[in-house]
Structure 1
Amino acid sequence: MIGVEGSVAIVTGAGQGNGRAIALGLARAGAHVAVCDINADAAAETAALAAEARVRSMSAQCDVSDLQSARAFAEKTRAELGDARILVNNAGILKRHRFGDPGFESEWDQTFRVNVDGPRNMVLAYAAQLEATSGRIVNLASIMSLSAGFGISAYIASKGAVGQLTKALAHEFAPRGVRVNAIAPGVIDTPMTEHTRGNEAAIGKFMAHTPLGRTGQPDELVGPVLFLVSDMSSYVTGTILPVDGGYLAA
């Protein structure tokens, strides 16, 4: 794929679920892939799977909420693979606390450290590399960036921030030759959504507002990401692309 093959791609939170699927999709499209996760063993497994596509791959443990950890990972990937051209900010967490519940404040702070400070830290760490390669950034937003729900206000607020961060960075980086976009997944079959999918009332509510009438698979995020990091989207920046079975259109 034009603009992907031979590029160095970075994927955070790639030890499982959406991050792993995206990393493997990039590898199959010909990108050399560097993956990180808070779980080093899971990241290493993803890197090994990526190598089966006959591209170079590497992995490391990285805490995206810590700027020094992000910078250390950026230095490591540059030394082993070269300057990054693609950055996919996938790492994220979801805490189920109602507003004001005991422990809510600490869960709020942790959620923002990972979901908002994480992408910020990774962009800071990779900015020079991405400018040197006319790079592309894709952030993982959510349908909750553009809607709302009950009992996950920290997650909703953080993903709203990711959406606005995407637009702000698109303005900041356009003069530097870097495009910045996001995808907004709906309910995808990953460990993060297991609670929702296991709750008949909750998943029923989602499906009632999802025209395609089903949950998504992690592999179904690959095509949208490939579009946004390839030259096929050369005139696209600052957009949030829903990948949600039509949920936001209902």
Structure 2
Amino acid sequence: MTLFPGVALITGAASGIGRATSISFALEGCRQIAISDINLNGLHETAKYMKEVSSEIDILVQQVDMQEEVQIEYMVQAAMKRFGRVDYAVNCAGVGGTRERSTDLTAKQFDFVTNINYRGVWLSSRAELAQMLKQEPLPTHDGRPGSRGAIVNIASQLGIVSTYSAPAYCAAKAAVISMTRSDAIDYSKENIRINCVCPGIIDTPMTQGDSGFTKALETSIAIAPMNRRGTPQEVADACLFLCSSKASFVQGHAMVVDGGYIIN
């Protein structure tokens, strides 16, 4: 029996961690998956990879701007209309932004980062929770009590320790961690689990290139004891564990996947 007999929804699925998580759900036996991103071409490429690992999968592809509340609400409603429920939600959509001190950062730049990295995650989680509240638990892999649903929000190691010249990014990721814990308290009584994953430097499009943001990452890699970038798959594995019934007693946790950066 698969660990994922229900319906998965992944945001930010056009690349990086979101893509790896979407493919992993398909590979691990989830047969109904909704994927969303603002990058429609990237989404179709992700869907192609998903079908390569699972010929029986039913995929709902949706172009969604995480700055638009109406689009986020419709994303969950469309998944509900197509599949009847949402059991596992992984909110991966995010941006890096620019590397500037607060006095050099414009309000528009600040709003762009926080509107996607925090507000967008909150809007997604809120819509997912509203649906999960309406459904009954699914059976689990070994007969233990199941939950009505499981949400995993993608935060960051920089939501825990912070870094220089990234006040909007660090603040938004710290907010995701705190929001996750608050929601975990609020919805435990309704039998919904909410956790987050805090990746370190992961080999994704956001950490590649020649921008000031990506150049600053090399120092972070050197600080971490494992001294390398993580892979999207390594983060996806953590997300799937937290969504699965094997994590049935894990609630409000911020799981750090960073090669040891925050302990050094």
TM-score in terms of structure 2 length: 0.88
Q: 1:156 is matched with which residue: 161, 165, 170?
A: 170
Quick check: 143-152 or 125-134, which moved more?
125-134
Instruction: Report the 3-state secondary structure (helix = DSSP H, G, I; strand = E; otherwise coil) of the residue aligned with 1:42.
Output: helix
Corresponding position of 1:98 = 101
Distance 1:78 1:193 in 2: 33
Give the CA deviation at 1:98. 2.3
TM superposition shift of 1:204: 4.3
The Cα shift of 1:137 comes to 0.3
Using the TM superposition, give the Cα deviation of residue 202 of structure 1 relative to its aligned residue in structure 2, in angstroms.
Answer: 3.3
Give the aligned partner of residue 34 of structure 1.
34
Question: Which region of structure 1 is more displaced relative to structure 2, 25-34 or 9-18?
Answer: 25-34
Cα distance, 1:197 vs. partner? Answer: 9.4
**How far does the alpha carbon of each residue in 1:45-68 deviate from its partner, in whole angstroms, 9 at most, with x for none?**
212322331321111101122221
Native 8 Å contact 2:97 2:213 kept in 1: no
Letter in 2 for 1:30: G
- Is the Cα–Cα contact under 8 Å of residues 155 and 198 in structure 2 kept in the other structure? yes
Contact 1:85/1:129 (8 A) holds in 2: no
Q: For the Cα contact (< 8 Å) 1:62–1:69, is it kept in 2? A: yes
- 2:251 corresponds to 1:249: no
- Residue aligning to 1:108: 110
For structure 1, which segment, 198-207 or 136-145, has the greater mean C-alpha deviation from structure 2 after superposition?
198-207
- Structure 1 consecutive aligned stretches of length 4 or more whose deviation exceeds 4 Å: 195-201
> Match of 1:117, SS?
helix
Correspondence list, 1:1-250, <5 A: 3-4=3-4, 6-31=5-30, 32-52=32-52, 53=54, 54-96=56-98, 97-101=100-104, 104-131=106-133, 132=135, 133=137, 134-195=148-209, 202-250=216-264
Structure 1: any 5+ residue segments left out of the alignment? none
Q: Could you tell me which residue of structure 1 aligns to residue 140 of structure 2? A: none
Partners of 1:211 and 1:38 lie apart in 2 by 35
SS of corresponding position for 2:194: strand
- Note if contact 1:65-1:121 (Cα within 8 Å) is conserved in structure 2: no
2:11 aligned partner, one-letter code? T
Query: For 1:43 and 1:208, how far apart are their aligned partners in 2?
Result: 33
Q: Given residue 183 of structure 2, which amino acid in structure 1 is its aligned partner? A: L
CA distance in 1, matches of 2:13, 2:182: 25
Q: Deviations over 1:31-84 (max 9, x none)?
A: 221100011221122123223313211111011222211111111111222200
Native 8 Å contact 2:117 2:173 kept in 1: yes
Shift of the 100–197 alpha-carbon distance from structure 1 to 2, 3 Å rule, reads closer
Paired with 1:222 and 1:126, the residues of 2 have a C-alpha distance of: 19
* Alpha-carbon separation, structure 2, partners of 1:193 and 1:141: 15
Task: List gaps (5 residues or longer) in structure 2.
Answer: 138-147
- 1:100-120, CA deviations, whole angstroms, 9 ceiling, x for partnerless residues? 21x521111111111111111
Question: 2:144 — aligned with what?
Answer: none
Alignment RMSD, CA only?
2.0
Deviates more, 1:207-216 or 1:9-18: 207-216
Structure 1 residues 124 and 94: alpha-carbon distance in aligned structure 2, compared to 1, 3 A threshold: same
1:175 offset after TM fit, Å?
Answer: 0.9
Q: Distance in 2 between matches of 1:145 and 1:200?
A: 17
Q: What TM-score does the superposition give when structure 1 sets the normalisation length? A: 0.93
CA–CA distance in 2 between the matches of 1:210 and 1:120? 29
